[in-house]
Structure 1
Amino acid sequence: MKKSSIPFLLGIIFLVLFGVQGAPIMRNDRCSCISTSQGKIHPKSLKDLKQFAPSPSCEKTEIIATMKNGDKACLNPDSADVEKLVKAWEKKVSQKKKQKKGGKQKINTFLKAKKPQRPRQKKTT
């Protein structure tokens, strides 16, 4: 091999590796939900609710509910019941976030209030 071909090959390898790093990562090659569940789901039985917007790999909105018992179900995003469930879930999640923030503030105020106080000295004149 000639000395001039080595840098050329290294340059091509570098360009190929650089191009691979810039490639977008897709969620899947296809939609995750083949069919949707028509049954109602109670908000208390939910462990997690994920909503995926349409993408180049899947043209429809997908909502996947994970139950506390581990079962997963695809929900119909056009259903009124599912829209209510999503709103209830978002409200529940936002309340948990507020509680976490509020809990930190309460701890800080508790720690501030717990500072030892020195006894006041009487003024002597």
Structure 2
Amino acid sequence: MKPPVLFLLGIIFLDQCRVQGTLVIRNQRCSCISTSQGMIHYRSLRDLKQFAPSPNCNKTEIIATLRNGAQTCLNPDSANVKKLVKEWEKQISQKKKQKKGKKYQKNKKTRKAKKSQGPRSKKTP
């Protein structure tokens, strides 16, 4: 059979079996019961995750993982936390730009090295 026909038959089969995509949910409830009121500097962070409201938790949650491995929930309405999130996102975007720049520099160097070698000639005995 031709691939398009097999694909169409596969779709019909999945539809008949009532296979549907399911939402991957991190928990059946909110992860943050209470939030920290303390000030955290972005340099002390290992990771910062922000979760939008969902059917199981109707509030925005921000979970900070510190360099020592401790996790804390932050108040998303706090001005300090909003500032921290902006600074974190800025740092992440700068790191991504640096990685792209390094890849570009590396590719540029290898191209220059290949050009400088020139065409290889055959050795005659």
TM-score of the superposed pair, with normalisation by structure 2: 0.75
Deviates more, 1:23-32 or 1:39-48: 23-32
Q: CA deviation at 1:83?
A: 0.4
The SS at the match of 1:38 is: coil
2:41 alignment counterpart? 42
SS of 1:26 mapped into structure 2: coil
**In the alignment, does 2:31 pair up with 1:32?**
yes
Spell out, residue by residue over 1:5-57, the C-alpha distance to the aligned partner (whole angstroms, 9 max, x if none).
xxxxxxxxx99xx4575433322111000000000001111000000000100
1:101 and 1:42 map into 2 onto residues whose CA distance is: 26
Counting only pairs closer than 5 Å after superposition, residues 1-125 of structure 1 correspond to structure 2 as 18-19=17-18, 22-115=21-114, 116-117=117-118
| Corresponding letter in the other structure for 2:55 | P
2:54 is matched by which residue type in structure 1?
S
Task: Give the unaligned 5+ runs of structure 2.
Answer: 1-12, 120-125
Aligned-partner Cα distance in 2 for 1:27–1:71: 19
Identity of aligned residues (%): 65
What letter corresponds to residue 33 of structure 1 in structure 2? C
Deviations 1:72-95 (A, max 9, x none): 000000000000000000001101
Q: Compute the TM-score of the two structures, normalised by the length of structure 1.
A: 0.75
Which amino acid in 2 is paired with 1:97?
K
Name the Cα RMSD after superposition.
1.9
- The secondary structure found in structure 2 opposite 1:102 is helix
CA distance in 2, matches of 1:114, 1:20: 54
Please state whether the residue corresponding to 1:24 is helix, strand or coil: coil
Structure with greater Cα Rg: 1
What letter matches 2:38 in structure 1?
A: G
Unaligned runs of at least 5 residues, structure 1: 1-13, 119-125
Give the paired residue count: 103
